[in-house]
Amino acid sequence: MFTGIIEELGRVVAYEPGQTGARITIGCSAILQDATLGASIAVNGACLTAVELSPEKFSADLAPETLRRTNLGDLSEGSVVNLERPLRANSRLDGHFVLGHVDGTARVESLEELGDGNWWLRIRIPADLSKYIVSKGSLAVDGTSLTVAAIQGDLTSFTIIPHTYRHTAIHAYQPGAKTNVEVDILAKHLEKLVSKA
């Protein structure tokens, strides 16, 4: 489980496609200080397993389902990615409950400067996920816990503060880019419970 508070920006140093999946290697340092082989690391919000480790990078295998459901298959050497280690049981929960199980991808519509280092991000949400998104609720976008500021049809908007803009991959977003989204797990459980009542 994760919180959506990005700890480090990593960079793709290698991407090796296979017959059905792929292997990705990410250059980073801070999140590897206490990592062990088999550790879970969220890459753009997708929980991956470290299968190779060194002090400056780690590699993870991407299953066909991961490639189908996330933006990880669109990455190439040099791509910037959000990284987070799993939540410890004795840690503060600064963001929201993020499982690292990406529900789908959304397209960046725009990223506009508001002034004083603040930005307005708009993404186009797939129809099957929009029912889980509520104003002032949380949404994990490429693993970053964001608060929904506005909803207009299939467009969901967020105010991005200067810290988030500088310390996440959001600063590199371009219109049309795919972002990973994970909706609130509580909303999905509630929907299933209510549908059986």
DSSP characters over 155-182? EEEEEE-HHHHHHSGGGG--TT-EEEEE
163 is catalytic: no
Report the amino acid identity of residue 151: I
47 is catalytic: yes
* Residue in 14, 30, 63, 150 annotated catalytic: 63
* Residue in 35, 40, 130, 177 annotated catalytic: 40
Locate 30 and state its tokens. Answer: 């801070």
* Residue in 29, 49, 91, 135 annotated catalytic: 49
Locate 103 and state its tokens. Answer: 């529900």
CA distance 30 to 46: 18
138 is catalytic: no
* Residue in 54, 147, 172, 189 annotated catalytic: 147
Angle formed at CA 47 by CA 6 and CA 83, multiple of 5 degrees: 25
2 is catalytic: yes
CB-CB contact of 138 with 96 (8 Å) = yes
CA distance 26 to 30: 12
Distance of CA 188 to the CA centre of its chain: 18
63 is catalytic: yes
* Residue in 39, 46, 47, 60 annotated catalytic: 47
* Residue in 29, 30, 54, 101 annotated catalytic: 101
Residues with Cβ < 8 Å from 74, sequence gap 6 or more? 178
Identify the three-state secondary structure at position 30.
helix
Active-site residues, by number, are: 2, 40, 47, 49, 63, 101, 147
